[in-house]
Amino acid sequence: MDIAYSVEGVPIRLTTERWLHIVVRAIPLLIDFPMHRFSVDYDEEADVLYISLQRPQKATNTVMTDDGMLLRYRGRQLVGITILDASTRSSVT
């Protein structure tokens, strides 16, 4: 079975086996993620990745890091991370 999605409006079809390969490669990163429940949204048009560390919450404060990431706080608790220019980022070693 093929699974379809689009990139910049261009339809892309991947086989189930290819999707599974992508998911299996992500497993170690997902297991090591510091939160057990989180959500991720990617705005392809804006190239922004949103990571909510709990149920989406309204942040009361935002701090921008030197490398263009927005740390979203509710009080003193980190509740989300917004990553600008997400597609240009490489993995951290």
Report d(CA 79, CA 25) in Å as an integer. Answer: 26
| Residue predicted with more confidence, 77 or 57 | 77
Query: Of 74, 92, 75, which is closest to residue 83 (Cα–Cα)?
Result: 92
Region of 75 on the Ramachandran plot (φ > 0 left; ψ -120 to 50 alpha; else beta): left
* pLDDT score of 9: 65
pTM, two decimals, is: 0.70
* pLDDT score of 32: 84
What are the E-state strand segments in 1-93? 2-7, 10-15, 39-43, 48-52, 61-64, 69-74, 77-84
For the stretch 37-57, pLDDT in tens is 888 888 888 989 998 887 767
CA distances from 2 to 8, 11, 13, 16, 74 (A): 19, 12, 6, 6, 41
Highest mean pLDDT among 17-21, 45-49, 52-56, 61-65 belongs to 61-65
Strand 2-7 and strand 69-74: the pairing is unpaired
pLDDT surpassing 70 at residue 2: no
Q: How confident is the model at residue 91 (pLDDT cuts 50, 70, 90)?
A: low
